Structure 1
Amino acid sequence: MDVVVLIGRILFVLLFLGSGVNHLTQSQAMAGYASHRGVPAARAAVVVSGIVMLVGALMVLLGIWADLGALLLLIFLVPTAVLMHAFWRESDAQARQSEQIQFMKDVALAGAALALFAFFAHVDGLGLTITDPLFSLG
């Protein structure tokens, strides 16, 4: 079971590791897009979100307070869905559909991050982690 959980953790964080690196290495271009979407202090938001993604993903991957790492990813995903993929503001049908898909992807990943948080904070003796969870749900 420990190996299955580890494989799930690896698969879950792949997206965040790649995106986090892109946020930090392509922050100027991403800041332009974020600014276009109405994000205040876009350059700082891109850099901070890149750091949050990388730290959260590495925590989940390595099992270092993985529950906190899952919360960091949740904290990144919810505002990103609302600010960056506000499909309800789009008048063009194709742009609306594209943004709605991205919004729903972020919401689904937020649900997975919340479930991982609860899993890590509730299950004793996960194995294949470096630290125990920071939080305890029972």
Structure 2
Amino acid sequence: MDVLVLIGRLLFVVLFVASGTAHLTKTQQMAGYTASRGVPMPVVATVLSGVVILAGSVSVALGLWADLGALALAAFSFSVGVLMHGFWKESEPQTRMMEQTQFFKDTAIGGAALVMFAFFAYAGHDLGLMITGPALSIS
């Protein structure tokens, strides 16, 4: 079971590691898109979000207060869905459909991260292949 949880953790964070790396290595391009979506201080937002998702990814992957890492990834996912993929603002049908797909993808990933948060907070002390137990505890 411990190995399956580790494999799941690693597979889960691959998307976030790639995204966080892009936030920090392609900041200007990503900030341009962020600005086009109306997010204030797009360069700062891009860098801060990159740091948050990389920190959350490392936390989940290593099992270092993985509950907090999963919570950070959930917060990021829900924020991106609302701020960057507001399909309800789009009038062109194809753009609306694309943004709706991205919004629900981010919502689903955020939901999965919340499940991971609860799992780590509840069972984290009993899981192997973790550096620490959870920072928070749900009984």
In the superposition, the TM-score normalised over structure 1's length comes to 0.98
Deviation for aligned residue 1:82: 0.3
Report SS of the residue matched to 1:76.
helix
Count of residue correspondences: 138
Runs of 4+ with deviation above 4 angstroms: none
Amino acid at match of 1:131: T
Where does structure 2 lack aligned partners over 5 or more consecutive residues?
Answer: none
Aligned to 1:41: 41
Tell me if 1:96 matches 2:96.
yes
Aligned to 1:53: 53
Deviation for aligned residue 1:16: 0.1
Report SS of the residue matched to 2:5.
helix
Deviation for aligned residue 1:110: 0.5
Aligned to 1:26: 26
Aligned to 2:133: 132
- Computed over aligned residues only, the root mean square deviation of the Cα atoms, in angstroms, reads 0.6
Amino acid at match of 1:7: I
Q: How many angstroms apart in 2 are the aligned matches of 1:56 and 1:132?
A: 15
Q: How many angstroms apart in 2 are the aligned matches of 1:83 and 1:125?
A: 37
Q: How many angstroms apart in 2 are the aligned matches of 1:75 and 1:105?
A: 14
Aligned to 1:108: 108
In the superposition, the TM-score normalised over structure 2's length comes to 0.98
Identity of aligned residues (%): 57
Deviation for aligned residue 1:77: 1.1
Aligned to 1:8: 8
Q: How many angstroms apart in 1 are the aligned matches of 2:55 and 2:78?
A: 17
- Identify which range, 71-80 or 11-20, moves more after superposition: 71-80
Q: How many angstroms apart in 1 are the aligned matches of 2:79 and 2:9?
A: 23
Amino acid at match of 1:37: R
Q: How many angstroms apart in 1 are the aligned matches of 2:99 and 2:58?
A: 28
Amino acid at match of 1:107: T
Amino acid at match of 2:137: S
Q: How many angstroms apart in 1 are the aligned matches of 2:52 and 2:99?
A: 23
